[in-house]
Amino acid sequence: MAGSQDSFVAMSIQPEDRTTIDMFTPVERGRPKSSPYDRSTQLKLSKRLQRHRDRHKGLRRLEVKLNAEVVELLDGLAAELGISRAQVIESGLMRLLEE
């Protein structure tokens, strides 16, 4: 075509880009993947969604370092009551605050 100019549009891609990821990856033969993302990206996405769900439920993250003996007692109590370790701590703190 005489007189026409070819233009090149450069596109960038983000690893978490769900819309255009298939445009830039070569077609692979074999068993299809359940997700187009590598494992580290999947973990980042699922952790982000988990933090969003927890925030929406009104939960906040708290990290505490405890003695190993206390953790063993806590695990035993949690197993005995059939609830999680966090629920045991939360119920104990709520009782303490009610007094």
- Bigger pLDDT: 2 vs 76: 76
9 pLDDT above the threshold of 60: no
Boundaries of every domain in the chain:
12-27+35-61, 63-99
10 pLDDT above the threshold of 60: no
The number of angstroms, rounded, from the C-alpha of 46 to the middle of its chain's C-alpha atoms is 3
Is the Cβ–Cβ distance between 25 and 36 less than 8 Å? yes
Kindly state the tokens that stand for 69.
Answer: 């003996």
Span 87-94, average pLDDT? 94
Tell me which fold the domain 63-99 belongs to. Arc Repressor Mutant (1.10.1220)
Q: What is the pLDDT of residue 35?
A: 80
First to last CA, the chain: 86
Query: How far apart are the C-alpha atoms of 41 and 37, rounded to whole Å?
Result: 6
